[in-house]
Structure 1
Amino acid sequence: MANEHVSAYTCQQVTTFFPGMEAAVLQRVIATHWDTAMARLQACIDKVTMWPQGQFNYLNSSQYCQYLYFLSNTIWREDRSEEALGVATRLFLLNKALNGIDLFYEIALPEVFFIGHSVGIVLAKATYGNYLVLYQNSTVGKNHGVAPVLGEGAILYPNSAIVGRCRIGDNTTVSQGTGVINRDTPGNCMVFAGTAGELTVKPSKRRLIDDFFRL
């Protein structure tokens, strides 16, 4: 689908799910920020090994999820007018409705990231390093207002969480069902749930993000 048709497709979805904004305003705001958002999206897609370079498949739900984030975030970064924020909000809500992800447009995700399955992902305004991998039901959250800092190459497998005062070293993999709460990780490691709430941290045998990204 050509870019102009993707834009029209998105506008139709927004007006169907969240009526109340004039179609002309919605179309104008999206068109104004379209090129920047699509350049960011394509640069991200081109780094993901399982996705063909130079292509955007709007029927790939993971790609469409990331597209809605880049579009809403680009609008918010470049235009804080009431109309623009209204469009960004609707795109955020559309992403939540379609893909089950809570990813607010003000959150600064890295320029390269990969969402395996979006359902149940909840992300706070934390610090995210590049080459981030997220799977279903993963959470990055604050504790008493304090947000984690994630280094480059963090991987969150299904049902994992990083919450609170955490400094996650580069190339940390959080295994399925593991919660890292107010803890640091050294990097180049795999984190597993231990006994009595403790964590088991093992050195990584290799860099797992090589499976996900063209580096």
Structure 2
Amino acid sequence: MSDVRVGQVQRLRDITAEQLAAYPSRAIGVLGVAGGNGLDLINPESTDVVYGYDINADYLAACEARYRDGLGHRLHLVETSIDRSVTIERVDLLIANLIIEYVGAEEFAAFAAANAGSIGVLSCVIQRNDAAGFVSSTDYASSFDALASVSSDIDPETLDSVMSDAGFAVLGRCEYPLPNGKTLIRQDFRAT
């Protein structure tokens, strides 16, 4: 993801900065927090709490090691899958970047509906594979082959539709082309 031919990590960091700037929040949640890309952009002076959710305990440990000093007691990391059975803490902004491809649009919408009362704004990023497969072509591509079997392409219109059915209004959409022919698409929603 960080390979310059891909540019995904750098672009996701920029998008996270935009998400944080667009929706200043005292309470922030991050689904699929992984190692915490972008958490250093959160201002601890204007943020009371940050919840990071991920299925991978090793990612959460790395996130803890990287960001505990900067965020201190504000950082709360939770090991969990993302599905309709999960109850999250109340947040003003919930970021879900590149997670929906693994959860599926319908299950993600069911998760959002189940937590609608706890979500101010839901800002998510999906990946459209215009000219490339799910895994970008780099020297390390073969190590990610298994990801293609557990992910699915998410159509932005389908996501809008299932989120509408789940009781969320569309706030906006932005597209970010990547050097490898893929496009990251940010879609923002608010419970109605």
Higher strand share: 2
Which of the five TM-score ranges fits, normalised by the shorter chain?
under 0.3
